[in-house]
Structure 1
């Protein structure tokens, strides 16, 4: 008589992708711990700049403009740093970048404290932003090498999003506390110190970084820019909208807290927003999704645009915290799904660059939003800066709906980037 073997609950649980199984991956902790320390300053930089420059100039518009220069510089230079990391190794790019960022960040702090003209702050902001260490994309690239196509890749993407958002809970709280309770410059000084120590420790972990491909003909095909993949360009627009939420809320929450005479509340409100993001990221990583990632991205982004559109209607700290929590809960699914799509859209040799394009898009969206929100807060009513997240997410959602077909991976063997590739001869055993 035929019999059917039913897997036990224990074996099913063991094969189910989850955080416990992910964190037991051999070698994972050797880059996770230093990577966590090294990425903490990223969450502190913008808010530290805004609080310092606003203190020395008295203008949120000026503060937003300096922060915007930093964000634009990062967005422009980060992808090239990612491309160099793919070609020459992460350590070769990270060490000089960390040293440059530390020096330029301290120089920017000194200029602000000595009352330097605004143009001088802009000049110092360029290398500060351009040299921001791209630890998050580098960690994601290391996961890709460590897991090598495992079903845990989606869980790893969720874990990285949770880690990012945890830094955005701790970072703004730490920066705000340092700038308001210790000294207006304490946030940037701490950011520079953490960048130096954390970045060098991460760079020292050479064993887990992706291998550098040999520079032969096939390697040159593999190093085609990730920007030439149509789906990556759609994701860049999507992440620009997410950046508009981060930037718009950072300035608007600071202005709101100042307007009610409680500037320390800024870090708490932003922490609630980031906590919602982190908690939803934990849940997303624990779910075995059946819907295609392209569809999940559209649904999640529609929810983000809807909740972000309600921010400007709030008039109390309690309601602002509640809506901010909902906005945060809608960001993580979009981020996780976007990073997951990179694995199927982009060749392995260009993924660090692709991740940095997305990270840079968030930074650019944040920079534009910081500038726009600062101007609106200075020129219009208290809370006008919250119009920026609404506009950014709605415009990005319209683009995503119109071009979502480009997020479907091309069949194997077909060219995904215009004017390159064709079919390459493949050696078989």
Structure 2
């Protein structure tokens, strides 16, 4: 039908090729078929419409949603009449044509979008099908630049910005997760009604993802657009929890979140605060900043552990963090649900530097846990491979 649709020279094509066709085409380019002893004449546009309807149904079965807007490809030699007739066929099929591009151009685009590692590439595409030779030259720029144009085109023509993938993520989540700056994408998506608070299958909002990905510009923009810094994921962590474990120990994320109303004492399902997260990951600058902003060092998690317990349990030398916690009022002898103090926790992992520092700061070595053991009992147990240096150190501080 491509040779007939909208072709003002179709009669010549019919005379030359009609003898090879298994159906009859009259001089008006209409296909003649016999149904119930009646001759039915079908225009090329109507035949093409039926093909498009079938393709539409097949595509909808795959994507599981209704398709209305399409991009049509046509042979490079099509003139305006042929393009208009093809557009009419799409309308008969109940489709809206957003864009019409040549078939070799479509092939070039498909190749280019898959070649992210080859920016600024010139492609020469040959189309040898259909008895004609068509050539197109396409320059592929950086994929980011191409993508924003494609995103804009899709959104302006009705694409749903809140469509989800298998991880329940929308385009906004994906833009926020990219470590490169995709603020322009975020602006465009929000302009077209992307849901700023929509959560993925882990309960994370785009703000949480941006904080986790350490994308400061997107965090700033999302907060400026009203993103809720206290929204919780499936384990009740907020954006501040994600910011507290920042890989580069950057306080700017926490500063922005607190400035926009983040609750510094929010606890997750395990009772962990953002301060505990920062202590766990040994983010010294963030620990210092959170304490300066009033984070409570004596807040307890679900096991009654405080930030000091978590600092003492870290196998790395956390002396500076322990110093910061004590300086800001951490209770050195507070006990968790098992009756363990931070000193006992440090002893249990043979952290000699923390043990020494805690004792120098008046940690009580005679405290008894729920099993009736002191720090000295714990270090002497064979389970913990007795450390003679710690035993000697504790022996100097225990009451005689």
User: If the TM-score is normalised by the length of the shorter chain, which range does it land in?
Assistant: under 0.3
Higher helix fraction (1 or 2): 1
Higher relative contact order (CA 8 A, sep 6+): 1
Give the TM-score normalised by structure 1: 0.19
